[in-house]
Amino acid sequence: MKILVVAKQIEITDDLRELFDKKLKKFDKFFGSETEAKLTLKERRNDEKKLELTINVNGTLFRAEETEPTFQTALDQAMSSIERQIRKHKTRLQKRIRTKSFDTAMASVPDSEEEKEFDIRVKEFDIKPMTAEEAILQMNLLDHSFFVFENEKSGKINVVYKREGSSYGLIEPVK
């Protein structure tokens, strides 16, 4: 597993890096060596540690975010959360995780006069063709309220989203 540690306004000790490497090796039984894990570490004002763990497996993302008194505790909680995601979606993920990933990136938002009034955070990610059901699975794994994807059948960009209650919505372009 390839591990990338991003620290924001803190310094990472070698002991902490070794701890991350040792703990994340546990996921080798689920994923291959090409899997990428990204740890983002932040220290909050009240001396709490925030850790975000994102694991990318051939375009399928597993994500957990924890705030705890120590990074070690936060990592343990995040790993437990990802293990639950894996167990919960095991059969669907076996169908979903394939050897090929598609390298289609979203175009970034162009600069304009209107954007200067707003603080806009631009996010770029690979888009893979998938079904609406697979997109809902991915959205739930990321714990987001919507997910943009390329519809496997039509080849068009679609959006799935959570509705109030336990239902989902799908936005499809007409043209």
CATH class for the region spanning 104-171? alpha beta
Closest among 24, 35, 21, 15 to 78, alpha carbons compared: 24
Q: For 150, phi and psi rounded to 5 degrees?
A: -95, 125
Q: Tokens 């955070």 map to which residue?
A: 121
In the chain, where does the domain assigned CATH 3.30.505.50 lie? 104-171
pLDDT of residue 131: 93
pLDDT in tens, 41-53: 998 878 888 999 9
User: What confidence tens digit (pLDDT) does each residue in 35-89 have?
Assistant: 888 999 998 878 888 999 998 887 778 899 999 998 899 999 999 998 888 777 7
Q: pLDDT digit string (tens) for 99-146?
A: 333 323 223 333 433 334 567 788 888 888 999 999 999 888 888 899
- Listed in order, the ranges of the chain carrying CATH 3.30.160.100 are 2-96
Topology given in CATH for the domain delimited by 2-96: Double Stranded RNA Binding Domain (3.30.160)
Three-state secondary structure string covering 31-65: CCCCCEEEEEEEECCCCCEEEEEEEEECCEEEEEE
Q: How long is the chain?
A: 175
pLDDT in tens, 148-168: 999 999 999 999 999 988 899
Question: Distance between CA atoms of 27 and 7, rounded to whole angstroms?
Answer: 22
7-27 pLDDT per residue, tens = 888 888 888 888 888 888 888
